[in-house]
Amino acid sequence: MSGGINFARVDKTHHRPHTGEAETILRDFSLEVLPGELVAVVGPSGIGKTTLLHLAAGLDAPDRGTIRVGDGAREPRIGMVFQQPRLLDWLKVAENVAIATDAAGVGRAQGARMLASVELASYAEAYPLALSGGQRQRVALARAFAIEPDVVLLDEPFSALDELTARRLRGLLQDLWLKHAPTGLLVTHNTLEAAFLADRIVVLGCRPARIEKIIEVGEARPRSPEDPALFEIHREIIAGLV
Amino acid sequence: MTDVPMMRAATPRRRQMPLARAVRAVLPPLAFCLVVIVAWEVMARVLASPLVPDVAEVYGELLRIVPTGAALQQIGVTLGRILSGSVLAFAVAVGLGIAIARNRLLAAFFEPGIILGLTVPGLVWALLCVIWFGVSWKTPVVAIGLGVAPALTVSVVQGVRAIDPDLIEMAHVFRIPRSAQLRRLWLPAMVPFLLSGARLGFSLAWKVIVLVEIFGLSSGVGYQLNSEFSSQNVAGVLAWTIAFGVVMAIIEYGMLQTLERRLTRWRRVSRV
């Protein structure tokens, strides 16, 4: 099993770039994501959702408290899918995946398999600029899962796509999750997306960020985006946000 | 009134034949050379001075130095020196440029050195290196290194600062080792800046090496220029300059532009 993510009594303060004014984002914040669980974090803009992802990814350090990612036995393999695909445009699709698998010590064959999983095997030798936005984001998904990740962090991964493409990619992500079962933290503004993908939804509010509500999504996978139960959860999240 | 279907045949996009493309690429620079030659000839006839030889005289000098292989041999010597010095300058500039772009303290520390390096004329480096190293391979290499590295460093710093920080963040999350980041992310992202730096570097190196060869060496284009100058052969000076200019043009059009097209071919893929 992959090991979870644990935020224990974390404080984090940001300084505004122009004024230098300190702003406390997290104070005494705790959250545990269990191994193999996918937790979605929703809340108003600027509440600190992305800060949580950055802390988990090691892009930022807490002022106080501890963050544990993985099982502690070895350095965790972290895959991340960003709002934009963040591909290296001068490398072919296969090389974009290979740069991550090489770093993780995973064979390149795994990258090829993952490209096939996201239905892009025939684009392996193409440059990213020849791909559509949805295809590029599929490459980003393949890159995140090709490293056999312990943890996958998702930062509004489909928000830059049109709804039809986003819907298809959510289905693809669900399939990947069923197959690989890493631990996951998803930040999204889309409450239906949270309900469709997550095992648990954490609703953040106030400032510094506080957990207002935790919603368990009991629906079995694979889920359908048309499932009425998900709309019920969506309404419950909205009620927690307003 | 009858309905006229609002349909129009799609205009086929005219595709240029390779020959037409080549002609379009070659014609403007050739026209420029022709204009310069004609203008020079007019000037030479109007002035009628031994200090401004006509085109036929310069051509005669070219025939004297090119077919015998003397020009090629001397240009080869000079180019070898330029290349050695440029390699040194490039290595220093890439290391220093990346460090400066990433670290404000280092930037503040090296800033006076770079400004000094940019303002000191190549003549000073040439003289100092001839004094320090005498007739040695070190003289041109160090002089070119000192003359070119500051400008190249500035190009590298600009290149590093232009790298998308989101990509660096991605590389950090995926724990991509620094060596792989340098090869697969940093250097390719900096290609336009490195190529413009290489062009600038070559032109600066040429100016430095000529001085070094005039003052301290007994071979190379600079030495030949000095010899022609000593015998007051203006046509000879022009012939050597033209011969070297042609080689530099071959390097620009044949090598640098080909390299640039190859390294940036990913930009020319059709977008979906």
User: Residue B271: what pLDDT?
Assistant: 58
pLDDT confidence of A239, banded at 50, 70, 90?
Answer: confident
Closest CA to A160 of A96, A224, A82, A225: A82
Residue B272: the pLDDT is 54
Question: Which is nearest to A57 in space by CA: A83, A35, A75?
Answer: A75
**Cα–Cα distance for residue pair A116/A114, rounded to 1 Å:** 5
**B185 to chain A nearest CA, in Å?**
7
Q: Are A81 and A157 in contact (CB under 8 A)?
A: yes
Residue B73 · residue B250 · CB < 8 Å: no
As averages over each run of 10 residues, the pLDDT of chain B (272 residues) reads 42 62 83 95 94 94 89 92 93 92 93 93 93 91 94 93 95 96 93 88 89 91 93 94 90 85 81 56
Q: How far is CA B46 from CA B27, B57, B233, in A?
A: 28, 16, 20
Are B57 and B63 in contact by the 8 Å Cβ rule? The answer is no
How many of the other CB atoms lie within 10 Å of CB of A164? 9
| Substitution target from B166, B168, B172, B174 for chain A, most A beta carbons within 10 A | B174
CB contact under 8 A, B172 and A86: no
Cβ contacts of B263 on chain A, cutoff 8 Å? 90
Contact yes or no for B174 and A103 at CB 8 A: yes
What is residue B8's predicted lDDT score, i.e. its pLDDT?
A: 45
State residue B5's pLDDT score.
41
Distance, in Å, from the CA atom of A139 to the CA atom of A133, rounded to the nearest integer, reads: 10
Average per-residue pLDDT for chain A: 93
The answer to whether A102 contacts B166, with C-beta atoms less than 8 Å apart, is no
Token pair, residue A77, equals 């393999």
**pLDDT attached to residue A149:** 96
Tens digit of each residue's pLDDT (9 = 90 or more) over A144-181: 999 999 999 999 999 999 999 999 999 999 999 999 99
Burial class, B228, CB count within 10 angstroms (exposed 0-12 / middle 13-18 / buried 19+): buried
Which tokens belong to B136? Answer: 């040695």
For the sheet containing A151-155, what is the strand order? Answer: A78-81, A151-155, A183-187, A38-42, A200-205, A210-216
Residue-level pLDDT at B14 = 53
| ipTM field | 0.94
pLDDT value, residue B201: 86
| Plot region of B134 (φ>0 → left; ψ -120 to 50 → alpha; else → beta) | left
Q: Supply the Cα-derived Rg of chain B in whole angstroms.
A: 25
Cα distance from B204 to chain A (closest Cα, Å)?
A: 30
Amino acid at B131: I
Partner residue opposite B177 with nearest CB, options A88, A103, A143: A103
Full set of structural domains in chain B with CATH: 55-264 (1.10.3720.10)
Q: Which of A55, A60, A129, A131 should one mutate to test binding to chain B, selecting the residue with the greatest count of B CBs within 10 A?
A: A129
Strands A22-33 and A5-15, bridge-based pairing? antiparallel
What pLDDT score does B15 carry?
57
Average pLDDT over residues A184-204: 95
Task: Give A 49-78 residues with CB within 8 A of chain B.
Answer: 57-59, 75, 78
DSSP B105-120: HHHHHHHHHHHHHHHS
The pLDDT, as a whole number, for residue A125 is: 96
Mean pLDDT lowest among A141-145, A199-203, B257-261: B257-261
Given the DSSP bridges, would you call strands A64-69 and A5-15 parallel, antiparallel or unpaired?
antiparallel
Chain A contacts in chain B segment 172-231 (CB below 8 A): 172-177, 180, 184-185, 188-189, 191
Query: pLDDT digit string (tens) for A38-89?
Result: 999 999 988 899 999 999 999 999 999 999 998 878 889 999 999 999 999 9
